[in-house]
Chains A and B, each alone.
Chain A
Amino acid sequence: MSDASSTAPSQAGATSQSTGSRTLLDKIWDQHLVHAPESGPAIIYIDLHLVHEVTSPQAFEGLRINNRPVRRPERTIATPDHNVPTSDRSLPIADPISRKQIETLRENCKEFGVQLFDIDDVRQGIVHVIGPENGYTQPGMTIVCGDSHTATHGAFGSLAFGIGTSEVEHVLATQTLLQFKPKTFELRVDGELARGVTAKDMILYLIGQIGTAGGTGYVLEFTGDAVRNLTMEERMTVCNMSIEAGARAGMIAPDQTTFDYLRGRPECPADFDAAVEAWKKLPSDPGAAYDRSNVYKGSDIRPQVTWGTNPGQVCSVDSVVPSPGDSTDVNVQKSTASALQYMDLKAGTPITEIEINRVFIGSCTNARIEDLRAAAAVIKGHHCSEKVNAMIVPGSGRVKLQAEEEGLHKIFTDAGFDWREAGCSMCLAMNPDKLAPGERCASTSNRNFEGRQGKGGRTHLVSPAMAAAAAINGHFVDIRDWDYR
């Protein structure tokens, strides 16, 4: 099967080359090797395990059946996020099956001694928002969660990836995972991003370039000046969507921006300066070899909008909906035609003429305070279009509080946006927040799959600023021309 499998393992424990120069991945890998057999997967230690209500009940049940404890409860934190309502938290959850799932998480955490940030705790929120904001997520760590967007935490120079429920159980029982060492793929973005072009546009552009399976079998390392200049929250947006390129994880080497973000966060090491000294040794050595490297120019990236039913089906806001005939590949032609049909779009339509009736600003990709500030800057002095129903869902209780302290919620509600409680919400529409069939949504989330935001719903992925502008105009607009008030 040559390279066709998703794993294409390299030798467990081997560094990328013989010179001794190591990549960021090599260093983290070596520091976490518990057992490296001659062949087959290595056993690697897991520093932090994030748990939520949807992918954990069967794992806890497995522990119970086999009479196994959670090996390291202090390295495990849990919160309900996927399936929680984002309306009034003082009311009981209406859907009995959802309520049962959240109660099951509560009972499991109690039984196995795992810390839970419950629905009424200010620390509750999307797992990939609360890990970093509380300082649990730190450089050099191995971090897993039964959620594919765990790649988010790689923004801190950690190795972080999503796992299935059987692996959740494996980590709960052993604090380790069986892993083949992934290959490394450097995506370097040189130069600067133009005004109005965001981290979301960068990652959508990169996925468009390498495709939704372009990163399969790899850990992506994002490098270059345009990446270095990103804030931590922007870096999280970039790493978050690594999985949409098929990659196991995405990482960005830690630097002063990382250390400044972490200093003072509650769960950071007591001797923070000593920790920083160790973290400074993590970045890839000069001359360390990646298995693959691609180089892009920041100035080539324009605001992006997805037009299809996977995140690789994306184009610039100033272009038009593509035609199946644009490609010579039969498979691409077929998937383009099928996507256009589902999305009810005609090839050749300018992106700025696509009208929307829903807007979702939220998700582990774009629900942090900076995302909300970016949306507020666009919205201020404007009003949501009458034909658009727009909702803003903060990533955590803390993000919500911070936004309210800054008065952002007033800007949103005055402009006719719905301001809600924290959770995954309409990113995956497990809770009551969903699209009706045929509704078209500008969304800051990460997946535009068929039915992702509700059966028959149509999703266009964009940055928070682009989503806010679309809400105001009722159609996509090029944010580079925006009238900031």
Chain B
Amino acid sequence: MQNFTVHQGVVATLDRANVDTDQIIPKQFLKRIERTGFGQFLFFDWRFLEDGETENPEFELNRINVKGASILLTRQNFGSGSSREHAVWALDDYGFRAVIAPSFADIFFNNCFKNGVLPIALSEEDVEELFQRAEKGNPYQLTVDLENQVITDGQGFERSFEVDESRRHNMLHGLDDIAQTLLHEEKITAFEEARG
């Protein structure tokens, strides 16, 4: 897994609540058997017009000042619905390293940590303030520091954020969960033997 220490990048806003994983990566792209190459399909039905090729000029990610964005700012319950990890693969492959929202859906939140994409929950008020600042920025940049658990824009916005310590540790060092768990393999074996 790619590690995450400090990341500075352009912020793209998606001013919608309850964005489900069907929107993040529509089902017609789930037939691939690889983990890579999903970025081109990210938000496909919103991002492209009927022909599936022309960018929809009204969609937020197609705005000229968010090209190359790597931090997504959005509203509550982001990533709801289907468990498809393809949603995180698509965000990652498109170039997003962090997603900021007031809250996340459970499975999506877990999936992010498995892929080095950092989901950051801030209060509704802080997210609203970031939306307002992003509106004025051209482009608007944030620095996400996982080591110190701080987000800053260098222009007066600075907030700390929380993340579970074990997840933080694994993200900072890019550690693989399976290898970590297998350090406890004798406990798994003992558990299986005790149950018979």
Is B104 part of the binding interface, using a Cβ–Cβ cutoff of 8 Å?
yes
Cα–Cα, bound, A450→B80 (Å): 13
Residues of B25-60 whose CB lies within 8 A of A: 26-28, 30-35, 45
Please give me the residue from chain B that is nearest to A169 by CB atom: B178
Residues of A241-269 whose CB lies within 8 A of B: 243-244, 246-248
Q: Which residues of A contact B80 (CB under 8 A)?
A: 212-213, 246, 310
- B127: min CB distance to chain A, Å: 10
Residues of A30-55 whose CB lies within 8 A of B: 34-35, 37, 39-41, 43, 45, 54-55
Cα–Cα, bound, A2→B166 (Å): 18
Tell which of A170, A244, A248, A455 touches B177, judged by Cβ atoms closer than 8 Å: A170
Is A233 part of the binding interface, using a Cβ–Cβ cutoff of 8 Å?
no
Is A18 part of the binding interface, using a Cβ–Cβ cutoff of 8 Å?
no
Residues of A167-204 whose CB lies within 8 A of B: 167, 169-170, 173-176, 178, 180
Q: Which residues of B contact A10 (CB under 8 A)?
A: none
Please give me the residue from chain B that is nearest to A95 by CB atom: B31
Q: Could you tell me if A216 and B164 are in contact, using CB atoms closer than 8 angstroms? A: no
Q: Which residues of B contact A331 (CB under 8 A)?
A: 17, 75-76
- Please classify the interface of chain A as helix (H, G, I), strand (E, B), loop, or mixed, using the class held by over half of its residues: loop
Q: Which residues of B contact A39 (CB under 8 A)?
A: 165-166
Q: Could you tell me if B31 and A97 are in contact, using CB atoms closer than 8 angstroms? A: yes
Q: Which residues of B contact A248 (CB under 8 A)?
A: 106-107
Given known contacts A5-B121, A58-B35, A100-B33, A213 and B105 CB-to-CB distance under 8 angstroms: yes
Q: Which residues of B contact A101 (CB under 8 A)?
A: 31-33
Cα–Cα, bound, A335→B75 (Å): 11
Tell which of B23, B34, B162, B165 touches A58, judged by Cβ atoms closer than 8 Å: B34
Is A328 part of the binding interface, using a Cβ–Cβ cutoff of 8 Å?
no
Q: Could you tell me if B177 and A178 are in contact, using CB atoms closer than 8 angstroms? A: yes
Q: Which residues of B contact A176 (CB under 8 A)?
A: 181, 188
Is B83 part of the binding interface, using a Cβ–Cβ cutoff of 8 Å?
yes
Given known contacts A45-B191, A58-B33, A216-B77, A162 and B83 CB-to-CB distance under 8 angstroms: yes
| Residue picked from B28, B120, B165, B185, most chain A C-beta under 10 Å | B28
Tell which of A35, A104, A175, A310 touches B18, judged by Cβ atoms closer than 8 Å: A310
Q: Could you tell me if A34 and B30 are in contact, using CB atoms closer than 8 angstroms? A: no
Q: Could you tell me if A335 and B162 are in contact, using CB atoms closer than 8 angstroms? A: no
Q: Could you tell me if A146 and B83 are in contact, using CB atoms closer than 8 angstroms? A: yes
Is A323 part of the binding interface, using a Cβ–Cβ cutoff of 8 Å?
no
- A181: min CB distance to chain B, Å: 13
Is B136 part of the binding interface, using a Cβ–Cβ cutoff of 8 Å?
no
Q: Could you tell me if B77 and A212 are in contact, using CB atoms closer than 8 angstroms? A: yes
Size category of the binding interface on chain B: 35 or more
Q: Could you tell me if A167 and B110 are in contact, using CB atoms closer than 8 angstroms? A: yes
Please give me the residue from chain B that is nearest to A247 by CB atom: B106
Q: Could you tell me if B33 and A164 are in contact, using CB atoms closer than 8 angstroms? A: no
Q: Which residues of B contact A79 (CB under 8 A)?
A: none
Is A449 part of the binding interface, using a Cβ–Cβ cutoff of 8 Å?
yes
Cα–Cα, bound, A165→B85 (Å): 6
Query: What is the total of A-B residue contacts with beta carbons within 8 Å?
Result: 197
Tell which of B45, B82, B114, B187 touches A34, judged by Cβ atoms closer than 8 Å: B187
| Residue picked from A1, A82, A176, most chain B C-beta under 10 Å | A1
Cα–Cα, bound, A58→B114 (Å): 13
Q: Could you tell me if A7 and B109 are in contact, using CB atoms closer than 8 angstroms? A: yes
| Residue picked from B20, B83, B165, B191, most chain A C-beta under 10 Å | B83
Given known contacts A45-B191, A164-B110, A216-B77, A4 and B33 CB-to-CB distance under 8 angstroms: no
Cα–Cα, bound, A249→B81 (Å): 13
- A190: min CB distance to chain B, Å: 28
Tell which of B81, B120, B164, B181 touches A148, judged by Cβ atoms closer than 8 Å: B81
Is B133 part of the binding interface, using a Cβ–Cβ cutoff of 8 Å?
no
A-B contact pairs, 26 of them (CB 8 A): A1-B121, A1-B123, A2-B123, A5-B103, A5-B104, A6-B110, A35-B187, A41-B166, A54-B30, A54-B31, A55-B83, A62-B178, A71-B188, A97-B32, A167-B111, A169-B178, A170-B178, A178-B181, A213-B80, A216-B77, A216-B103, A243-B107, A246-B77, A310-B20, A331-B75, A430-B31
A contact residues vs B (CB 8 Å cutoff): 1-2, 4-7, 9, 34-35, 37, 39-41, 43, 45, 54-55, 57-58, 61-62, 66, 68, 71, 82-83, 95, 97-98, 100-101, 104, 146-148, 162-167, 169-170, 173-176, 178, 180, 212-213, 216-217, 243-244, 246-248, 310, 331, 334-335, 338, 428-430, 447, 449-452, 455
Task: Enumerate the 6 nearest inter-chain pairs by beta-carbon distance, A residue then B residue, closest first.
Answer: A40-B166, A166-B114, A57-B33, A164-B85, A164-B111, A162-B83
B contact residues vs A (CB 8 Å cutoff): 16-18, 20, 22-23, 26-28, 30-35, 45, 75-77, 80-86, 88, 102-111, 114-115, 120-123, 161-162, 164-167, 177-178, 181-182, 184-185, 187-188, 191-192
